[in-house]
Amino acid sequence: MSGILFMSFMLPFTFSSMAQGIIPKPMNIVEGKGQFNLNAGIPILAKSQDSRKSAELFNDFLEKRHGFRLFITQIPQTGPHVILTSIQGDQPEGYLLDINSDKIEIKGGEAGIFYGLQSALQLIEEKDGGLTIPAMRIEDQPEFGYRGLMLDVARHYFPVDQIKKIIDLMAHYKLNRLHWHLTEDQGWRLEIKKYPKLTEISAWRDSTIIGKQYDRDLLIYDGNPHGGFYTQDEAREIVRYAAERQIIVIPEIELPGHSSAVLAAYPELGSFPLVNGVPQAGTISGTNEKGEPLDNDLSTNVPGFWGVQYNIFGPTDAAFTFLEDVLTEVMDIFPSEYIHIGGDEVPKDHWKTSEIAQKVIKKEKLKDEHELQSYFIRRIEKFLNKNGRNLIGWDEILEGGLAPNATVMSWRGEDGGIAAAKMGHDVIMSPNSHMYFDHYYTEDQTNEPLAIHGFLPLEKVYSYSPRPTALSSEEHKFILGVQGNLWTEYISTNNKLEYFIFPRLLALSEVAWTAGDQKDYGEFTKKRLPKRLAELEKSNVFFRIPEADVTISRDMETGRHRISIESLVDKSQVYYTVDGYKADPTGKLYTSPFLAPVSRSEYGPLTLRYVIVTPQGRVSNEFSHTIE
């Protein structure tokens, strides 16, 4: 990005072996000599209110990881100390971190000081019974201003403490936007005082399907009610907690589709008139987009199965009044510039067969139902703009014409983002090919927990470049940043939530923060990721233990295969077999490269199987590697 924060401190990049733990990778590092000894007697000199707040948060992280806090003072110090110096620059998230044996100094704006402290935390080493930080100077700033994670709590509800845990980890790795997906067909998760049935009815479903939806002709349900919601006070607490950690919470209220949960409570907001409280399609009939007979799907229950539902908001005054009332309360809770309105996966079947919708199309001189969706979203955008907010939506909001001031979140690949940028609209890149964290980690799904579909290994997340080559350098200015998305249809526990986020979030942080020409996946996984994964385990984060780095070469003396296995978790152990049978901790302990057994060619290649056991005893999935 243009505008370096500390021009006078520009330094040649030297990636110190002592700085190998920092994720995301800093812009410039020069190592020094010696170290700073960190203990409970060290003061933090913080004169401004913002720097004192950052110091308190640093203490929170320090106490969680190492069991003590530093004392914060405004009195100048002569002995070893930490000093936080607030300065203004054209890159408010940039920082200068200078460490020597006498002091740690961090210069930057409010966010910069916070991020400098997070880097300092990652540099702490346990040495000779104490804590040290190696001497160095780091100059750093982000490549993108928007660095986000989307968390879907509508398919499955997660408690406030779990949301805070994710926020802490986002902040530690310098992400700054939490896109909070609060409403869906299968559940509404936010208290709206004017519409109490949203939390009485829409927030709960009677049952949820077991297993993957398309694996069985007949769905099997668990028979257990599921639901929950966040009170407005709880939502405000999440907003406050995140803001202290330099994260803005962007709420998403889905419209006009993904609204079955709302219509279960308020069916009058749909596209058909009510008879005895039940929506009636009357004699209207039609076909869906595949030409199949239309199932109007006018159920007034919150569905317990996944997929796109036909039941959507009608383009009625009652629906717009409802949505404006809801968004008024949402804006009172969430101070974010953006309000996300979804706008994705809106089946038009009801609108095609609805007299109400067809009258609106005729009255507004619209071409078709796609333009009706655009009309719907433009009307909501005018309301948000009038209240000082901007609309953001998934790339389907391009259909029928893009609302004038809308920001596009490109998820169906990059095409939507490219089209929007060429039109001069701001864009967040979030393609499902690289940024959908609900996908499987590996093509071999037999040892993986159930996921929705797809294949997204860690390396593919890391490889993403948010600036499409199809755009000119001038058009690149409309790419605000990048976001990873976690949908939770098949994620219902805290451990599984963390499994699918981590370690992908660490790769995402480097995609969002670090310049593309400084990224190196091999260096990321071998030099910096191992220490961070060990730290995650100490913090009780249930990350997926990644595959080891396996190298197979030919031993020149014997002609046999030589196998090397390098775990990506610091201080972990690897147990393996090469006889074709299951690997577990009863197998051979890997200690150094070894020669594979001799295999007769008619039996085909041998298979290496192995598991990784972390320092605290977690056992990975079983991994396999063909020896050839």
Mean of the per-residue pLDDT values of the chain: 92
b/e sequence 292-308, b meaning 16+ C-beta within 10 Å: eebebebbbebbbebee
Cis omega (within 30 of 0) on the bond before 503? Answer: yes
The pLDDT, as a whole number, for residue 40 is: 94
The pLDDT, as a whole number, for residue 13 is: 46
What is the per-residue pLDDT across 122-139, written as a single tens digit (0 to 9) for each? 999 988 889 999 999 999
Is 18 a residue whose pLDDT tops 90? no
Is 490 a residue whose pLDDT tops 50? yes
pTM of the model: 0.94
Residues with Cβ within 8 Å of 157's Cβ and at least 6 positions away in sequence, in order, are: 187, 189, 226, 227, 228, 229
What is the per-residue pLDDT across 47-87, written as a single tens digit (0 to 9) for each? 899 899 999 999 999 998 899 999 999 999 889 999 999 99
Which has the minimum average pLDDT: 150-154, 261-265, 602-606? 602-606
Residue 137: closest CA among 18, 289, 272, 221: 18
Contact 589, 560 (CB under 8 A): no
Mean pLDDT of 502-521: 97
Mean pLDDT of 335-362: 94
- Degrees (nearest 5) of the Cα angle 508, 514, 517? 115
Is 7 a residue whose pLDDT tops 80? no
Question: Which DSSP symbol is given to 616?
Answer: T
User: Which carries the bigger pLDDT value, residue 70 or residue 301?
Assistant: 70
Strand partners, 513: none
Sign of the CA dihedral with 502 first, then 505, 398, and 261 last: positive
Residue 351: closest CA among 303, 416, 419, 399: 399
The pLDDT, as a whole number, for residue 219 is: 85
Is 371 a residue whose pLDDT tops 80? yes
The pLDDT, as a whole number, for residue 137 is: 97
Terminal Cα-to-Cα distance of the chain (whole angstroms): 45
The pLDDT, as a whole number, for residue 242 is: 98
Contact 193, 329 (CB under 8 A): yes
